[in-house]
Amino acid sequence: MKPTPINASVNAHYLDKVMYVAEQMSVEVIVDILDVRGVKLVSKGTRVTRALREKLIAHKLMRPFEASIRIADGVDSRAVAQVAERLADVSAPIASLLRSVPADGASPLQVLGQMEFGNAMALMLTASDKAGGPSLEHAVLVSMLSICMAKTLRLNEQDQLAAGLAGLLHDIGELYVDPRFLARGKRLQPHEWAHIVIHPRTGQMLIDQLESFPPSVGRAVAEHHERFDGTGYPRQVGGQQLSGPGQAVAVAEMIAGLLLKDNALERAELALKIVPGEQAPELLAAVSGALRQCPHGVVVPEAAWRGGESVPGLYARIGAILNLGARLIDGPAAKSDRICKLLHATQERVRKIQRAFVSTGLDGYLQPMPFGAASDGPLLFEKDVASRELQWRLRDIARDLALQAESPDEKMVLASLINLLDNDEGIVEPARRLTVALHGISAQTAADRRLMRA
C-alpha cells in the first residue's frame, strides 16, 4: 500500500484529527485554499471547523492542506523541552542514559533545545498529543534517546540534531493511518500490517515536502523501523545502507517503550542483544554502559511472568515452524523461484531465533527446574523478557512474509506458515510429539549453548 501524495487529496484520517483539535483550540487558514482548477474553497483567515470537512475532502487541492493551516498555542520547542526535562527528572534509567553518552559537545537536552519546526509539524505534534495517551511523551523520549544514540555513534552536531528531529517526528505518518489499525490493545493480523508499514515512508514524505530540514531528517524517519541486519521495514535494508541518524532513531524507538517499565535498562539490554546483529554493537554498548552506572536488583511481580505461551510451547512452535518450512521447500511450492527464496530467507531468520532461544538460556526451562529456581526473581525476569521478545520476532517474520506474498497462489501456499509464526497463544501438540521435542534438545543444544556463550 503506497502513501497518497499530499499535494492533491486531503487525507481523511488526518483531517478528522485536525477537526478534533479545532474543537478545542484555534486552527486558522493562513492562505486561500484553492482546488486544482484554481477555484477558491476557503478564504484566508477562516477558522477551521467541522463544517469545512466535506468541502475539503471532496476536492483535490492546489496546495497541500497541511501547509495552508496554522494552530495557535500548539506544541512548540518550549513544550518539547519541558516534557524532556520532566522525563529526565522522574526516570532514573533515562537520566542514566543521558549521563552515559560521550560528554563532548552539547548535551542531549541542549541539542533538543535547538530544534525548531514549522506550522505543519506543530499541528501534527499537537494532534498526536490531543489524541490521548502518551503520544507526545513518547515522541520526546524517542527524540532524546535518538540524540543519545547519535552521540554514541560519534555523529557530528548536524546529524545529532537530525536524529533528534527525526525522533520527535518519527510517527507523524501514523496520523494518516486508519485509527482502527492503531487502537490500543488491538492485535494486528499479519496481512493488516500493510496499513502500518507505510507510515515511515509517509512521515518522510511529509517532512520533505512541508519542512526545510536537511534530507537526513526525512531519511531517518523512513528508517526508524529498519534493523542493522536488514530484517526491519519498510525496505528491509541494513548495515551501511542505513544512515547514522536512521540507526540512532531505530534503536531509540525500539527501547523507548521499555524505559518506562520496571527494570527498564535490563529490559532494553536484553531486547537489543537477543538476536545478534539486529542492531549496531555500539548502540547496545551504550545501553549496557548506562546499566552499569545504574545497577539494581531485579524484582518481578508474579503477574509479569505468568500467562501466555509457555517456554516449552515456544520451543515446540519454533521446531514446528522449521519443519513446516522444510516441507514447503521440498514440496511443489519450491518450483517457484520467488516462493523458494522467501522460504529460505524465513528459515534462516527462524534459525537465528532458535539459536537465540539457546543463547538466552531459555532451553534450561525445558527440563525440571532445580529447587528454588521457580521463584528466582532475576531468572524469571530474564525468562519473561526473552520469551516475549522471541515471540515478537516470530510475529515480525509472519508480518513480513504476509506482506511479501503478492499473488493469491503465494498467499495460499504461505498461509499455514504465516499462521504458525503469528500464533503465540500456544499451539496444540500431542503429548508424544512434545515429549520428543523436549528430549531432542539434549546433546546438540548443550553443545550449541557452550559455543554461543564462549
Q: How much is the pLDDT for 443? A: 41
* Alpha-carbon gap, residue 25 to 168, rounded angstroms: 22
Please tell me the predicted confidence (pLDDT) of residue 415: 93
DSSP character string of 249-276: HHHHHHHHGGGGSTTHHHHHHHHHHSST
**Residue given cell 537465528 in the structure block:** 352
Q: Which option is the CATH number for 77-293: 1.20.150.20, 1.10.40.30, 1.10.3210.10, 3.40.630.30?
A: 1.10.3210.10
Block residue for cell numbers 493551516: 69
Q: What is the 3-state secondary structure (H, E, C) of 343-399?
A: HHHHHHHHHHHHHHHHHCCHHHHHCCCCCCHHHCHHHHHHHHHHHHHHHHHHHHHHH
What's the confidence (pLDDT) of residue 303? 47
How much is the pTM? Answer: 0.88
Q: Which residues contact 409 (CB under 8 A, 6 or more apart)?
A: none
**pLDDT tens per residue across all 454 residues of the chain:** 455 446 578 999 999 999 999 999 999 999 999 999 999 999 999 999 999 999 999 999 999 999 999 999 999 999 999 999 999 999 888 998 998 888 889 999 999 989 999 999 999 999 999 876 668 999 999 999 999 999 999 999 999 999 999 999 999 999 999 999 988 888 899 989 999 999 999 999 999 999 999 999 999 999 999 999 999 999 989 998 999 999 999 999 999 988 888 888 888 888 888 888 888 888 888 888 787 777 665 555 544 444 458 899 999 999 999 999 999 999 886 678 889 999 999 999 999 999 999 998 899 888 776 545 555 567 788 888 899 999 999 999 999 999 998 888 888 999 999 999 998 875 544 333 433 443 444 344 444 444 444 4
